[in-house]
Amino acid sequence: MFLSAVPQPSSQPGSRMSRHQQQQQQQLQQQHRTTLRLTDNVVEVKSKFEAEYRRFALKRNGPGGFTAFYRLLQTIHRIPGVDVLLGYADVQGDLLPINNDDNFYKAVSLANPLLRIIITKREDEPIVFATNSLQRRKKGLGLTGLRSSGFDSTRSKNKPGLMIGLPQNFRQISSIIDVDILPETHRRVRLHKHGTHKPLGFYIRDGVSVRVTQQGVEKVPGVFISRLVRGGLAECTGLLGVNDEILEVNGIDVAGKSLDQVTDMMVANSHNLIVTVKPANQKNNVVHRGSRTSMGNSGSVGSAGSAGSALSHDSPSPASQSNPITASNSIAEGDSDDDDDEGDLILENDSLTLYDSSRVTNSNNTNLNRDSPSNRPFPQSVSLPNSVGASLSDSSVLMSNHNGNPAHTSSSSQESMREDGNIITL
């Protein structure tokens, strides 16, 4: 990662703060606004932390991601070790968060020409990102200034802004995956039942599927979604619809399987269900753009999201274009053997007490530490597998962590997830 910057108030222009040695060297010069405007590939950054402003320049297409940028800001503001939240003001005047590579690149790419960064301490009262949270002065000209006195005052308009919560307040409940390896007519949807209390909420039925073969049109038996339960996970995502044909369940072709078999397969995989469907409505398919791989693992719909907005994430955003992600193999991920392996809840009672039926059921004051080295000190111990433990303690941390590294390939993200799982439970 390579980012260096010189804070504007510094009296030593040209000093370099390189922190890594990599093949790609990046230079950042201390420059004035006027000179900076002349170069297209440099972004002018103005960051604010509490009452302090810093200005510096950033290469638009330079490498490095959110983490590097975050560290850079910490250095510039001389607040190393302080946990902060980053936000930026976009063209429409909305204050939007920067907390991963995606929205970082997005912010950089949209800077026109100035990128305004607002840094807040995490311990502070959480700021509310919202539309119209920043006062828009002039149409299309971006912001010329920011009020220094918090953002709540900016919301004192008649029209309340639409609330956008922090990403860590969301849990991923569904995603479209493997867009790049599937035919355009198919859609592979992953439903994360994990941790939500919503029912999966759909029904399937037998039906007749029409296939076009070399011999002509052929009718074969198929399995279709027959009904979506209102308020269920399937309906909320908007990714599945009535009469969608089910082609695969967690990577296994359902052709030739009976309705009951498909039902059992889905129920058995319900904790992490990946269904490949051929949507009945083919209008909203993901369109492949040339040779460019579109982004896998991109779409995520918050639980607050409505069905109507579901397809918005299908279209690749500029951010994703600027940072293509290698295709993830959903099957490997979905079928990862260990995600439910650790799911069993095991209660052990090693204390030698006489039989008492109420004993076991009341043993809820349990130790959540799965990797506790010895059970001896604890007469009763509960081993909670990491995933469950995570979901019980703070599943959002896990999920945001997972989302925070979209540049990883699936396998590495899987691994990091596993490692993180143990850390989180501690």
Partner 1 sequence: MKRFRRHGQESQRDRLKQELFQFNKTVEHGFPHQPSALGYSPSLQLLAIGTRSGAIKLYGAPGVEFMGLHDENAAVTQVHFLPHQVELVTLLDDNSLHMWTLKAHTGLSELLEIGRFTLTGPPGAPPSVTRVTAVLAHSSGELLLLGTEGGHVFIVEVPGFRELEERNISLDQVASSVPDDYFGRRNLEHVEALQENPVNPNQVVIGYGRGLMVIWDLEKQSAVQHIPATQQLESVWWTEDGDYLLSSHSDGSYCRWMVSGVNEEEEKSDIPYGHFPCKAISKIIQLPTEEGPPFLLFSGGMPRASYGDRHCITVIHGKTHVALDFTSRIIDFFAIRDGPQHTGRQHTGDPSALVVLVEEELVVIDLLTEGWPVIQTPYLVPLHSSAITCSHHVSAIPLKLWERVLAVGDLQSTHYSKKPWPITGGQNLAPDPPQRDLLLTGHEDGTVRFWDASGVCLYPMYKLSTAGVFHTDADPNDNMNQGTEGEWPPFRKVGCFDPYSDDPRLGVQKIHLCKYSGYLTVAGTAGQILMLELNDEAAEQTVEAKVVDLLQGQEGFRWKGHTQLDVREEPVLFPPGFQPFALVQCQPPAVVTALTLHSEWKLVAFGTSHGFGLYDYQQKNNVLIKCTLNPSDQLAMEGPLSRVKSIKKSLRQSFRRIRRSRVSLRKHHVTNSNKLQEANARLEAELAEMELAPVQRKIEARSSDDSFTGLVRTIYFADTFLSDSSHNTPSLWAGTNGGCVFAYMLRLPPVEHRAEEPVTAQPAKEIQLMHRAPVVGIVVLDGHGAPLPEPLEVAHDLARSPDLQGSHHLLVISEEQFKVFTLPKVSAKMKLKLTAVDGSRVRRVGVSWFGSSRSEDYGESGLVVLTNQGDVHVVSLPNVKMQVHYPCVRREDVSGIASCVFTKHGQGFYLISPSEFERFSVSTRCVVEPRSLVEVPLHSSTQRRPQPDGASSAHRNARQDSEDAESAAKRVMEHALLNDEKVLEEIQKSLEGDQTSILENNVKSAVA
Which range touches partner 1 (CB under 8 A), out of 9-17, 32-40, 70-78, 269-277?
269-277
CA distances from 136 to 249, 257, 334 (A): 48, 58, 44
As measured in angstroms, the least distance from the Cβ of 98 to partner 1 is 36
As measured in angstroms, the least distance from the Cβ of 6 to partner 1 is 54
As measured in angstroms, the least distance from the Cβ of 245 to partner 1 is 14
Q: What are phi and psi of 312, to 5 degrees?
A: -60, -35
Which range touches partner 1 (CB under 8 A), out of 56-64, 78-86, 113-121, 355-363?
355-363
Which range touches partner 1 (CB under 8 A), out of 46-54, 293-301, 302-310, 356-364?
356-364
Which range touches partner 1 (CB under 8 A), out of 85-93, 178-186, 268-276, 305-313?
268-276
Which range touches partner 1 (CB under 8 A), out of 80-88, 214-222, 278-286, 352-360?
352-360
Instruction: Enumerate residues 368-387 that contact partner 1 by CB under 8 A.
Output: 375, 383, 385
As measured in angstroms, the least distance from the Cβ of 100 to partner 1 is 30
Please check whether residue 262 is in contact with residue 293, taking contact to mean a CB–CB distance below 8 angstroms. Answer: no
As measured in angstroms, the least distance from the Cβ of 202 to partner 1 is 5
CA distances from 231 to 228, 236, 237 (A): 9, 6, 10
Q: Which long-range contacts (C-beta less than 8 Å, at least 24 apart) are formed by 140-146?
A: 140/91, 142/89, 142/91, 142/93, 142/112, 142/114, 143/89, 143/93, 143/114, 143/116, 146/48, 146/89, 146/116, 146/118
At residue 270, the 3 state secondary structure works out as: helix
Per CB under 8 A, 230 contacts partner 1 = no
Q: Distance of alpha carbon 362 from its chain centroid, rounded?
A: 38
State which residue, 125 or 337, has the beta carbon closest to partner 1: 337
- Six token digits for residue 318: 């500029």
C-alpha–C-alpha distance, residues 52 and 73, integer Å: 12
Which range touches partner 1 (CB under 8 A), out of 173-181, 306-314, 345-353, 406-414?
345-353
Please check whether residue 176 is in contact with residue 189, taking contact to mean a CB–CB distance below 8 angstroms. Answer: yes
C-alpha–C-alpha distance, residues 223 and 290, integer Å: 32
| Among residues 110, 111, 262, 325, the one that binds partner 1 under rule CB under 8 A | 262
As measured in angstroms, the least distance from the Cβ of 336 to partner 1 is 12
Number of residues that bind partner 1 (CB under 8 A): 54
Per CB under 8 A, 255 contacts partner 1 = no
| Among residues 355, 364, 373, 377, the one that binds partner 1 under rule CB under 8 A | 355
Per CB under 8 A, 257 contacts partner 1 = yes
Amino acid (one-letter) located at 193:
K
| Among residues 255, 268, 332, 392, the one that binds partner 1 under rule CB under 8 A | 268
* Among 88, 95, 87, 92, residue whose Cα is nearest residue 142: 92
Per CB under 8 A, 343 contacts partner 1 = yes
Please check whether residue 274 is in contact with residue 177, taking contact to mean a CB–CB distance below 8 angstroms. Answer: yes
Instruction: Enumerate residues 150-209 that contact partner 1 by CB under 8 A.
Output: 193, 199-207
C-alpha–C-alpha distance, residues 391 and 196, integer Å: 9
Residues counted in the chain: 426
Contacts of 100 (CB under 8 A, 6+ apart): 66, 167, 403, 404, 406
State which residue, 179 or 274, has the beta carbon closest to partner 1: 274
| Among residues 121, 271, 288, 402, the one that binds partner 1 under rule CB under 8 A | 271
Instruction: Enumerate residues 44-103 that contact partner 1 by CB under 8 A.
Output: none
Give the binding site for partner 1 (CB under 8 A).
Answer: 193, 199-207, 226-227, 250, 252, 254, 257-271, 337, 340-350, 352-357, 359-360, 375, 383, 385, 388
